[in-house]
Structures are given as structure tokens and as C-alpha cells.
Amino acid sequence: MTDLGINERNALRELKTELTRFIMSYKFATDEMMTKINILNEEFSSIHDYNPIEHVRSRLKSPEGILKKALRKGCPLALDEIRDHIQDIAGIRITCSFISDTYRVCDMLSRQQDVTVLKVKDYIASPKPNGYKSLHLLVAVPVFMSDRVQPVTVEIQIRTIAMDFWASLEHKIYYKYGGSVPATLLVDLKRAADVADRLDVEMERLHEQVVALGIDPDDVDDHVNLDLLSQLPMSSEVLEAFARGLTGVPTPKMNEGA
Ligand code: 0O2
């Protein structure tokens, strides 16, 4: 190994500091947004009788993932360029029970003073041709470092449980086939997306009825889910998978081989 001169060593040290700052800024921005979401989550759970937030997950894109996306998008491999062009380095996914909740959560976050909404992509109102549905909110939050305040972009995906279930399966299939998914599987996936959509619409309708009756939704949700699932025109395998995804247990009717 060759010895580095003082200039090279300084340059390397600077690069390492910049890289660390770059990655840490996304971690701090995620932490800030997660705090905001957790506050809403806890407030709804303890003060209101209904919580629109079911699950929250966050992830930082790996350096390999950033590099792959930069190459795919033809983005120059410089930190400033990556910051401007790769907008989902920090990602948060919020899962809600009902479609109306996704918009409600989106509004609550967008209204916060220190959150700047950069872009909203509404794939719920306008789904992707493959059936993908989700509300994507691109926000910038100020991250306060020792010597600067840096606005950092975070992508927040807000979707229902059914949309999330479909998207995670589609994502696995897409990667399994390296992006070239067989046509028959694409047709099946689109059909499953339509089923998930019908489930969401029905669940919303039932939810509205429950709210109109003044019943505490926490007391009845599971019962309603399972009854509705059993009536949907889907194969028993898909029904079982949905039931597991929604409640963690198969429906009694499905166990009986219905
Ligand atoms: P990963 O592995 O989940 O991180 P843009 O970022 O706006 O320049 P892009 O990437 O097309 O362009 O933005 P878009 O459409 O908002 O997608 C961003 C993320 O949404 C994706 O990140 C996925 O997580 C998710 N997504 C978008 N379309 C689909 C889809 O058809 N199926 C599934 N399962 N997820 C989707 P990545 O980096 O592509 O992937």
C-alpha cells in the first residue's frame, strides 16, 4: 500500500466527514419526522377513541441502493446531485386502516409549521398501470447541525393495509424476476390489486356505517373484517392471506374449507 501525502490524507478526511454528514442528515430528518408521527399516534391512541395510524416503519436507503438508483436515473455521482435527484433516501411508510385515513394523516403532517411539502404524488386517486396505490408525500424538514441548518428531504408513503400487503408482495415478485415479471403474473397481480381496492372501498363503507351508529370502532373492526372477507369473490388462498395480513389469524370459515 502506498503512503498518502498530507494533501491526500486531508482530502480523504474531508470526504469522509462530508459522507458521514450526508448520511446522518437523512437519519436525523427521519428521526424528526418519526417523532412527529409518534406524537400523533400517541395522541390519537390516548385521547381520541380512534387512531387513523395502524403501523409506521422507517428506513434509510443503503449506499448500494442510492448508487443503483443514481445510475438508473443517470444522476452524476456527486453528493449535491444525489441530494437533488434521489428523493427517497429517507423513507417512512405509514399504514392506515381506511382510504380516508391516508388523506387525513397526509393533511395532519402537511399542516405542521416546520414541514415543507415539496410534492404530493397521489397514486390512490391515480394508480400506476400495474395497480400500485399509495399516497407519496415528499417533505423537507430542517435538520439543526452544529454549524448549519440543512433542509432534508423525506419521502412518506401513506397507504392502507390492503395496498401495503399488495405492494410488498409485488415488490418481492419484481425483485425475484429481476424486473422482468412474466405477463401472466402481471395479470394476476393487477387482479389482486383490484380485489384489494374493492376490499378498501367496502371497508370504508362499513367504517362509515359504524361511525354513523356511534359504535366504538375498536370494539368491532376485527369482526367486520372477517365477515366481509368471507363474502368476497376470491380464492380461499387469497382470502386466507388477506385474513392473516389483517388480523394475524385465518378466518374460522376458511379453516372449515369454505
Ligand atoms: P425501494 O426499493 O422501495 O426503495 P422519483 O423518486 O420521483 O424520481 P420514482 O422512484 O419513480 O421516481 O418515484 P415513485 O414513483 O414515487 O416511487 C418511489 C417509491 O415508491 C419506490 O422506491 C417504491 O418504494 C414505491 N413504488 C413506486 N412504484 C411502485 C410499484 O409499482 N410497486 C411497488 N411495490 N412499489 C412502488 P424505489 O426506489 O423504486 O424502491
Mutate to test the pocket of ligand 1, among 88, 123, 157 (most ligand atoms within 8 A of CB): 88
**pLDDT for the residue numbered 99:** 96
Residue 15: which pLDDT band, with cuts at 50, 70 and 90? confident
Annotation says 240 is catalytic: no
pLDDT of residue 123: 98
Best residue for ligand 1 mutational test, from 122, 171, 172, 186 (most atoms within 8 Å of Cβ)? 171
| Residues contacting residue 229 through CB under 8 Å, at least 6 positions apart | 199, 239, 242, 243, 246, 251
Task: Write phi, then psi, for 145 (nearest 5 degrees).
Answer: -100, 180
Lining residues, ligand 1, CB within 6 Å: 69, 87-88, 121, 128, 130, 132, 136, 167, 170-171
Residue 118: how many other CB atoms lie within 10 Å: 14
Residue 149 pLDDT grade (very low, low, confident, very high; cuts 50, 70, 90): very high
Confidence class for position 161, pLDDT limits 50, 70, 90: very high
CA–centroid distance, residue 111 to ligand 1 (Å): 24
Of 80-84, 99-103, 249-253, which range is least confident?
249-253
What's the longest Cα–Cα distance across the chain? Answer: 77
| CB-CB contact of 97 with 161 (8 Å) | yes
Q: How confident is the model at residue 256 (pLDDT cuts 50, 70, 90)?
A: very low
pLDDT(113) > 70:
yes
Report percent pLDDT > 70 for the chain.
83
DSSP 59: E
Strands 90-96 and 53-60: antiparallel
Residue 150 contacts residue 121 (beta carbons within 8 Å): no
Q: Cα(179) to centroid of ligand 1, in Å?
A: 13
Cα of 217 to ligand 1 centre, how many Å?
Answer: 33
pLDDT of residue 252: 46
Query: pLDDT band for position 245 (50/70/90)?
Result: low
**Statement: residue 17 has pLDDT above 90:** no
Residue 46's pLDDT is 86
Measured distance CA(96)–CA(256) in Å, rounded: 30
Q: Which residue has the higher pLDDT, 140 or 69?
A: 140
Tell me which of 53-67, 164-178, 227-241 is least confident. 227-241
Cell reading at 196:
384489494
Q: Give the cell for residue 144.
A: 439543526
From CA 158, how far away is CA 97, in angstroms rounded? 11
How many angstroms separate the alpha carbon of residue 94 from the centre of ligand 1?
Answer: 15
Contacts of 232 (CB under 8 A, 6+ apart): 195, 198, 199, 202, 239
Closest protein CA for atom 19 of ligand 1: 88
> Tens digits of per-residue pLDDT, 191-219?
999 999 999 999 999 988 888 887 665 55
Spatial distance between the Cα atoms of 180 and 71, rounded to a whole number of angstroms: 19
The Cα–Cα gap between 248 and 46 comes to: 24
pTM of the model: 0.80
Instruction: Please tell me which residue in 42, 54, 155, 237 is annotated as part of the active site.
Output: 155
Q: Which residue has the least CA distance to atom 16 on ligand 1?
A: 136
**168 CA: nearest ligand 1 atom:** 34
Grid cell listed for 203: 371497508
- Going along the chain from its start, the domains and CATH numbers come out as 6-161 (3.30.460.10), 182-255 (no CATH)
**Distance from C-alpha of 83 to C-alpha of 136, rounded to nearest angstrom:** 18
